[in-house]
Amino acid sequence: MSSPKTTAQCTKMRGVAAGRLVTLVDTPGWWKNLLANETPEFQKHELVLSMAHCQPGPHAVLLVVRVDGLYTEKNKTAAQEHLELLGENIWKHTIVVFTYSDCLQDQTVEQHIDSNGETILKRLVGKCGNRYHAFNIDRCGGTQAKKLLEMIEDTVAENAGSCYEMEQKCLDEVKELRRITEERANKMKMMIQEQRDVLKGHDCSLSNIRMVLLGYRRSGKSSARNNIFGREHTDLKRTLQCVKTQGEVAGKVITILDTPGWWKTLSERDTAELDKLEILRSASLCPPGPHAFLVTLRVDMAFREEEMKSLMEHMSLFDERAWRHTIVLFTHSDLLGDLTVEQYIESEGKDLKLLVAKCKNRYHVLNNKNLLDGGQVMELFKKIEEMVAENKGLHYELHPRTYKDVRRKWRLMEKKSKMRLKVKPRRMISSVKGVGQSLTELSIILLGYGGAGKTSAGNTVLGRTDFGFKRTSQCIKRVGKVEERLLTVIDTPGWWKRLPIEETPQFIKQEIVRSVSLTNPDPVSFLLVIRLDSSFQEEERRTVKDHMNLFGDTVWDKTMVLFTCGDWLGDRAIELYIESEGEALKWILEKCGNRYHIFSNKNQRSRIQVLELLKKIEEIVAENKASGSISMWDLKKTTGRRTKMIQREKKAIERPTADLDFDDDDDDVFTIFKKL
């Protein structure tokens, strides 16, 4: 067998298996964690058109799931949404096929279904009428294929001998969309070629080309850089800081600045200040300035209004002049198959077309897997030279005032971060009695906004996945032996990162407060969890302060900030991040006595970070004991009163709403709920 390639378009195969003539249609796959609205339109069309490749319709649809990875609720939802593009009745004809079954070792597939992801797989299999089959794809034996074909025959019998027939109307609609898209794409291609022909007389051959790569995380920036230099895509890691690469390609000196990516759909305000500064100063790191900004987009991911808004906001870190020097660089073009990039642009809709128009119809497509195709790189250089000619030979330069501001801010940050290194945590002195002594028992309560990494932090502390990976909706208590200590770790529901406490549901507040009642008697420590790879502003500070105050003012004495996503820092000091984020984060740290710790939740096997955390907690416990800080008994009494108060508030809210007549046209009802 030849090595398998990613399926870009439907592939039809016919052959004999176990004495039967079999027609098999392979379809493009969707991203495991992405919902249907995040899949490009052309891939969804291809999925629907798979039904037309085996008329009158398939006897069975095989939903393929690997057994060697975690299967989450989002994975199940993604599978359901993509399958139901074919119609809601598709489940009657669907069989779940588990691949890589050899990875189960001594476990049966039934045990795997029952144990994986808190019955998520069980519900998926149940939706398929409990039809499933396990495949070891490394063995091509006929027995496992025969069993699968027998199961398909049983499925056909259950469906009264019928195959699955999709509504012809749906198929015709998709075919018509394809035809219109192809027509528009051809017109677009001709228009752009005419536009380029006009510039042919303006020769601007460059001996050196300077480029800056911009884009969201995993958009293919680093792969594009390697493509341009003809290097293998080995050991690709997330770009944490600006990376400058220089070399000679086809007789030209090429300089590329790779920049940190932003979250695909999040606004510029959610991006950490360090990342924004890195992006902005990239233009000054290839003096006198870049000839081109290459905005990278993956063709195997949808580009919607959310992505467009995020991209526009991050591009506004520069000024409007940057667009004159910008080219859209589409990556992973091998996943387009026979489709042209123009067909992809037309099929994705208005937001992508607006972006391309904003760049004056300048775009290029790279096949990241084809390093031998030097032609695609030379064509990119040619397009950059045409753009420079259109810009009358000019490159982009930061405004002198902006350049000075960036340099001044960076120097000030570095100076302050070095000063912060000398700041000792409050009362953290070795003379306190008990400091340095290990505790035999300890309770830890994890607090923070949703998505901060509390659950992952809990798993890291215990060294196993006891908390699972789902969003926490109520307090979860887990106990384990860690470094000769009996630890009780309590994960709590997260609040919304920026919403005031008044908008946090009463049951969430009640659960957060209830966490104290689940602990053992002293000692107890609170870990306030904050992500390092996102911003922390005044709104977040107020929200944290109000939610922490549910426990009373003295809770801060028992609290340490736990920064997650520590790998995002790279070789930078945590103090640089703290100083870059500003006063809001520094206020939180001051309330916690400048006590903080960093976790890399991706490296759960590293027990050093856990041991260091426990030592810091033990120091806090010793200091609180020496200073006569509030006891856990008193804190439990305080939270008990808070719980009763929250319950009274909840009843007060429920009483007036019981008599409300919900009328869609009644604006007064919505006004009341806004106030609540």
Read off φ and ψ for residue 639, nearest 5 degrees.
-70, -30
The pLDDT value recorded for residue 436 is: 59
Give CATH for domain 11-166. Answer: 3.40.50.300
Residues 583-620 pLDDT 10s? 999 999 999 999 999 998 677 677 899 999 999 999 99
Averaged over 414-423, what is the pLDDT? 88
pLDDT tens sequence across 18-30: 889 999 999 999 9
How many other CB atoms are found less than 10 A from the CB of residue 477? 15
pLDDT in the model for residue 104: 80
Confidence of residue 116 (pLDDT cuts 50, 70, 90): low
Asked if 34 and 67 count as a contact pair (C-beta separation under 8 A), the reply is no
Q: What residues contact 492, with CB distance under 8 A and at least 6 apart?
A: 445, 446, 447, 454, 472, 475, 511, 512, 515
Pairing assessment for the beta strands 243-249 and 252-258 based on DSSP bridges: antiparallel
pLDDT per position as a tens digit, 254-299: 999 999 999 999 999 999 999 999 999 999 999 999 999 999 999 9
Whether the pLDDT of residue 381 is over 90: the answer is yes
pLDDT > 70? residue 642: no
For domain 441-649, the CATH superfamily is: P-loop containing nucleotide triphosphate hydrolases (3.40.50.300)
d(CA 505, CA 671): 18
Query: Mean pLDDT across the stretch 573-579?
Result: 95
Residues 184-215 have pLDDT tens digits of 999 999 999 988 888 776 768 899 999 999 99
Report domain 199-398's class.
Answer: alpha beta
Say yes or no to pLDDT of 414 above 60.
yes
Work out the mean pLDDT of the chain and round it to a whole number: 87
Domains of the chain: which residue ranges?
A: 11-166, 199-398, 441-649
Supply the pLDDT for residue 7. Answer: 85
pLDDT tens string 439-461: 889 999 999 999 999 999 999 99
C-alpha separations of 227 from 252, 367, 374 in Å: 15, 8, 9
pLDDT given at position 197: 84
State the pLDDT at residue 673. 25
Which of the given ranges, 419-428, 559-568, 654-663, has the highest pLDDT on average? 559-568
pLDDT digits (tens, 9 = 90+) for 92-114: 999 999 998 888 877 888 888 88
Distance CA 115, CA 109 (A): 10
Handedness of CA 400, 401, 407, 408 (dihedral sign): positive
Contacts of 435 (CB under 8 A, 6+ apart): 429, 618, 619, 622, 623
250, 243 in Cβ contact below 8 A?
A: no
490/492 Cα distance (integer angstroms): 6
Helices in 84-220 by DSSP H: which ranges? 109-115, 120-127, 142-158, 168-198
pLDDT tens digits for 350-375? 999 999 999 999 999 999 887 777 89
Amino acid at 663: D
pLDDT of residue 676: 30
pLDDT score of 658 more than 60: no
* Domains 11-166 and 199-398 equal at CATH topology level: yes
Q: What is the pLDDT of residues 121-180, one digit of tens each?
A: 999 999 999 999 998 877 666 788 899 999 999 999 999 999 999 999 999 999 999 999
CA separation for the pair 562, 428 (Å, rounded) = 17
Q: What is the mean pLDDT of residues 308-332?
A: 97
pLDDT, residue 158, reads 95
Considering the chain, what percentage of its residues have pLDDT values greater than 70? 88
pLDDT of residue 235: 56
Specify the range with the lowest mean pLDDT, choosing from 48-52, 227-231, 519-523.
519-523
How far apart CA 346 and CA 672 sit, in angstroms, is: 45
pTM: predicted TM-score of the whole model, two decimal places: 0.87
Q: Residue 445: how many CB atoms within 10 A of its CB?
A: 26
Residue ranges of alpha helices (H) inside 423-463 are 454-462
